[in-house]
Amino acid sequence: MLSYRHAFHAGNFADVLKHLVLAKTIQYMTQKPVAIRYIDTHAGSGCYPLNSAMSQKTGEYETGAGALKKLLQKAPFAPYGSVLKQHLAAGKYPGSPQIAVDLLRAHDQLYLHEMHPTDFSLLGKWAGSDRRIRVAQSDGHQALKSLLPAVKGRALVLMDPSFEMKQEYLQAISSLEAGYKRMPNATFLLWYPVVQRNQIDKMISRLRSTPLRDVWQFEFCRTPDTKDHGMTGSGILAINPPWTLAGELSDLLPQIKASIAPAEGHWRVENLIPE
């Protein structure tokens, strides 16, 4: 859908989970010298000014990363905390492309996809002359067919659809399955919102019928599930994540809960499908 603009939501509590997981994953993968192909299927505009009209309209940063700023600077939250600190000093919140650019190396590649014409234009300007980056105004789901498998044998895929339409939940799993079949040793991170739990249950049920293995679910919610409209939390379905990630999140998510949702918040770290 072309109505979604992430600038309204940049730095909210759902971004904290997504970007914490992304940063930890890149940190682990870059321990090996072989080049990584990073693919972002729904990249947005790269980096987001916090003084923009869109950010000011919702104020979601203030109840997300803004409320956790001191906590995220602690060593266990690195490298997400250090990237965040750098860009907050310039009045901006780093989106997933910015985090990837800051943490990946000179010989890694980034393929960023964004359909929204305004955000695509902003993304291109943000990318500038960085030779590692390829920006395309195209369907990121379809792009996986041409970008996987990676020549060097290592790939990290972040899938972050808007989920404005119910069919996007199953579409995301189909895309994930197609990418996995092309490169089963790649690492995939699929972010999802917790709005209606039945949609997530359907997505996981569909996932269990695929050949995917080593599948984990990481989730953080500020309030209990509700049938009313509105996002109560978010999660990530991770395929082939770093073996250290589950333990790290089991330590970090309770700290996030205690800081912004001590009464009703809940979190989940679960191995849905073993290796």
Alpha-carbon gap, residue 184 to 187, rounded angstroms: 8
What is the arrangement of strands in the sheet containing 233-239, beginning at the earlier edge strand? 133-136, 109-113, 37-40, 155-159, 187-194, 233-239, 215-221, 266-273
Q: Which residue has the tokens 């790290």?
A: 248
Give, in order, the Cα–Cα distances in Å from 115 to each of 88, 112, 196. Answer: 27, 10, 25
- Check 15, 139, 160, 225 and give the catalytic one: 160
Q: Residue 175 burial (CB < 10 Å; 0-12/13-18/19+)?
A: buried
Q: Answer yes or no: CATH 3.40.50.150 is held by domain 6-273.
A: yes
Closest CA to 61 of 20, 85, 93: 93
- The residue extents of the domains of the chain are 6-273
Q: Among this protein's residues, is 225 annotated catalytic?
A: no
Q: What is the radius of gyration, based on Cα positions, of the chain?
A: 17
Residue 196: what pLDDT?
87
Residue 3: what pLDDT?
58
Q: What is the mean pLDDT of each run of 10 residues along the chain (275 residues)?
A: 65 94 98 97 91 72 92 97 96 96 97 93 94 94 92 92 83 94 97 92 95 98 86 96 98 98 96 97
